[in-house]
């Protein structure tokens, strides 16, 4: 398949260590995909779904102890501990290799090793980066064939460029105690053992396109971010692009595929999707930032996805999709999840494979959910009705606004705007959000998650902040920076803001601010909309309700400022860029 000696030596080294019975190159062809699908179906690794209702779709269950990213077992193995910084787990690289090699020894005996050459970004385009993942999982192969561009043309492209990211993955025994997701940024290497789940094993995604790529971006003057990219087409045909960084399971896919409310569609507004999870961003010659989506598919959260909340996502899942850990309905060969519709199946199997029906309760009378809260669909980007015509534009799309956002029951208002780039970096750095099921551990705990990159920054986060600050200084025409929060709760625990498609009303204000056509209220935390400037037409939502989430309560924010100071000083101390301490001091002064 290739004469590239670096590639061949890499494969040889790990084939000798993991001793697979067979080695199979993945060529990206439809025939090979069909063969592997049949093989995985014959062993029960996947279940083929109803060809009429869900053509080309399959179902997969992971091990019960393997349903999300494992942040406590994820390591940045940079040469020095400082290289990984205070927010990452670190292991000395040689020690890590030694330990991992021991776990991986003979792990593929009796199995096949698949070699996946893949590209992040369009093959041959200037921003594309290449990887080779070795894996013993057909499920991983099939997912990578949707999420990235896989095939022999990648080998040719690597041949010319010479550079690629090495990825070694084995399920080994799916042993939680020996599960490790290790990154060696200085070696362009990822080593993942004992998991079979999403972000732990689809090495092109979080491991490469964020952790390794953020390190590369730091060295090469660009940004690799946990961001969606969307386009808003205005009635005059002009399209403006916005990126948004929200933590895992906090609304990126939903915002990226938004369908505007009627008050906008009837005027001719339209939203198009460039990306839903990862953006690679570079400064252009014109002093603006340009973003590409390096992925080729969506690995989206299933629960809550329905015809009303996200019809574009649902449509994306109707063919050639892999469903993971949702409800399986054997009789019809279909799938279901909580929040899909109000008609749960009466005769089904839950994500663990147990008999299940809608409304089923446990001995204490509590509802048993059929789908895992982090169950997912893997769908080709081309399936998405709102996919942008610029999806494959190798130059990327110019960014007018960057949005940061989190899941906050209180404190953070619906939207506010940073004063300038430096203040915007501060706003990103102080992001906090309630944890979700996307990673193992407690759910609903507020934690600091700067730029939604806490679990994904492949180097010292203090250097990452400095890199962001430096990037702004190089841009003559930087995007404006905003913060949003769709998740404010009322006293009964209900979401106040309707969210989803109605988030367009906030995007509208953001665009108007970018175009300098609307005023704002100057508050201690930043510029906020005048309530009259958020379009509520056609919405059952009062001005009072709006005012209640366009607030900046000084006492709450004084506490918040104290919290930020604790985070800054205990995590980073004097390694944090002084500009961020200055912004914090300025915020405190405005709150007096």
Binding site for ligand GTP (CB under 6 A): 246, 248-254, 276-277, 300-301, 303-304, 309, 438, 486-487, 495, 499-500, 503
As measured in angstroms, the least distance from the Cβ of 453 to ligand SPV is 10
Quick one: what does residue 309 bind among Mn ion, ligand GTP, ligand SPV, none, with the CB cut-off 5 to 8 Å set by partner type? ligand GTP
Of all residues in the shown chain, the one whose CB is closest to ligand GTP is 499
Regarding 136 and contact with Mn ion (CB under 5 A), the answer is: no
Nearest by Cα to 451 from 474, 434, 426, 469: 426
Number of residues that bind Mn ion (CB under 5 A): 2
Residues of span 266-305 touching Mn ion by CB under 5 A = 277
Q: How would you class 266 by CB atoms within 10 Å of its CB: exposed for 0-12, middle for 13-18, buried for 19 or more?
A: exposed
Q: Are 333 and 54 in contact (CB under 8 A)?
A: yes
Q: Judged by CB, which is closer to ligand GTP: 130, or 456?
A: 456
**Could you tell me which residues come within 8 angstroms of residue 144 by beta carbon, excluding any fewer than 6 positions away?**
26, 116, 118, 133, 150, 202, 204
Q: How would you class 367 by CB atoms within 10 Å of its CB: exposed for 0-12, middle for 13-18, buried for 19 or more?
A: exposed
The angle, 0 to 180 degrees and rounded to 10, between the axes of the packed helices 93-104 and 5-18 is 60
Q: Judged by CB, which is closer to ligand GTP: 215, or 246?
A: 246
As measured in angstroms, the least distance from the Cβ of 376 to ligand GTP is 8
Containing H/E element for 140?
helix 138-147
Q: Report phi then psi at 384, rounded to 5.
A: -80, 120
Question: Where do contacts with ligand SPV occur on this chain (CB under 6 A)?
Answer: 69, 198-199, 205-206, 248, 277, 299, 438
Q: Judged by CB, which is closer to ligand SPV: 206, or 408?
A: 206
Quick one: what does residue 199 bind among ligand SPV, ligand GTP, Mn ion, none, with the CB cut-off 5 to 8 Å set by partner type? ligand SPV
As measured in angstroms, the least distance from the Cβ of 510 to ligand GTP is 15
Containing H/E element for 580?
helix 578-591
Q: Judged by CB, which is closer to Mn ion: 299, or 323?
A: 299
Q: Judged by CB, which is closer to ligand GTP: 292, or 438?
A: 438
What is the number of H-type helices and E-type strands within the chain? Answer: 17, 31
As measured in angstroms, the least distance from the Cβ of 206 to ligand SPV is 4
DSSP class of 387:
B
As measured in angstroms, the least distance from the Cβ of 394 to ligand SPV is 24
Q: How would you class 386 by CB atoms within 10 Å of its CB: exposed for 0-12, middle for 13-18, buried for 19 or more?
A: buried
Let me know if 250 is a catalytic residue.
yes
Catalytic-labelled residue, pool 250, 384, 457, 552? 250
Q: Judged by CB, which is closer to ligand SPV: 119, or 440?
A: 440
d(CA 214, CA 220): 10
| Binding-site string for Mn ion from residue 216 to residue 255, where x marks contact by CB under 5 A and - marks none | --------------------------------x-------
Collapse the DSSP code of 202 into the 3-class scheme (helix H, G, I; strand E, B; otherwise coil) and give the result: coil
As measured in angstroms, the least distance from the Cβ of 251 to ligand GTP is 3
Enzyme catalytic residues: 250
Binding site for Mn ion (CB under 5 A): 248, 277
């Amino acid at each position: 398949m290739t004469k590239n000696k670096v590639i061949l030596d890499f494969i040889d080294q790990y084939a000798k260590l993991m001793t697979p019975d067979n080695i199979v190159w993945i060529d990206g062809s439809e025939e090979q995909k069909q063969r592997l699908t049949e093989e995985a179906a014959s062993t029960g690794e996947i279940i083929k779904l109803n060809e009429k209702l869900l053509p080309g779709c399959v179902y997969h269950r992971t091990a019960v102890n393997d349903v999300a990213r494992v942040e406590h077992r994820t390591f940045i193995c940079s040469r020095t501990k400082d290289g990984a910084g205070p927010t990452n787990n670190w292991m000395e690289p040689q020690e890590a290799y030694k330990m991992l090699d021991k776990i991986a020894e003979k792990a593929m005996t009796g199995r096949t090793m698949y070699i996946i050459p893949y590209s992040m970004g369009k093959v041959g385009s200037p921003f594309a980066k290449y990887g080779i993942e070795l894996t013993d999982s057909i499920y991983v192969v099939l997912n990578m064939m949707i999420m990235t561009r896989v095939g022999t043309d990648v080998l040719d492209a690597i041949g010319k460029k010479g550079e690629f990211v090495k990825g070694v993955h084995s399920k080994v025994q799916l042993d939680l105690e020996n599960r490790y997701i290790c990154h060696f940024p200085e070696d362009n290497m990822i080593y993942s053992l004992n998991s079979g789940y999403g972000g732990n094993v689809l090495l092109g995604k979080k491991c490469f396109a964020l952790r390794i790529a953020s390190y590369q971006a730091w060295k090469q003057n660009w940004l690799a971010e946990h961001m969606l990219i969307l386009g808003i087409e205005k009635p005059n045909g002009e399209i403006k692009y916005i990126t948004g960084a929200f933590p895992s399971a906090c609304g990126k896919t939903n915002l990226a595929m938004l369908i505007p409310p009627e008050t906008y569609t009837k005027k001719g507004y339209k939203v198009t999707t460039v990306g839903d999870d990862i953006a690679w961003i570079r400064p252009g010659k014109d002093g603006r930032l340009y973003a590409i989506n390096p992925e080729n598919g969506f690995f989206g959260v299933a629960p809550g996805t329905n015809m009303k909340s996200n019809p574009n996502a649902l449509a994306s899942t109707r063919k050639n999709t892999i469903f993971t850990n949702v409800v399986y309905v054997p009789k019809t060969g279909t799938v279901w999840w909580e929040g899909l519709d109000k008609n749960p199946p009466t005769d089904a199997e839950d994500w663990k494979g147990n008999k299940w029906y809608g409304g089923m309760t446990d001995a204490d009378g509590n509802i048993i959910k059929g789908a895992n809260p982090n169950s997912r669909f893997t769908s080709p980007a081309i399936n998405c009705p709102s996919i942008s015509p610029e999806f494959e534009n190798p130059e990327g799309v110019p960014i007018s606004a960057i949005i940061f956002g989190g899941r906050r029951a209180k404190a953070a208002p619906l939207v506010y705007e940073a004063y300038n780039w430096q203040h915007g970096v501060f706003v990103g750095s102080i992001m906090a959000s309630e944890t979700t099921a996307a990673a193992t551990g407690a759910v609903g705990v507020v934690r600091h998650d700067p730029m939604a990159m806490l679990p994904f920054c492949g180097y010292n986060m203090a250097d990452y902040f400095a890199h962001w600050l430096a990037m702004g200084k190089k841009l003559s025409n930087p995007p404006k920076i905003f913060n949003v929060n769709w998740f404010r709760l009322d006293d009964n625990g209900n979401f106040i803001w309707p969210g989803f498609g109605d988030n367009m009303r906030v995007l509208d204000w953001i665009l108007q601010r970018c175009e300098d056509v609307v005023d704002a209220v100057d508050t201690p935390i930043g510029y906020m909309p005048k309530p009259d400037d958020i379009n509520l037409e056609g919405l059952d939502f009062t001005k009072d309700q709006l005012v209640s989430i366009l607030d900046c309560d000084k006492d709450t924010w004084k506490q918040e400022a104290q919290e930020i100071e604790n985070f800054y000083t205990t995590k980073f101390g004097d390694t944090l860029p002084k500009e961020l301490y200055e912004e914090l001091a300025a915020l405190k002064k405005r709150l007096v």
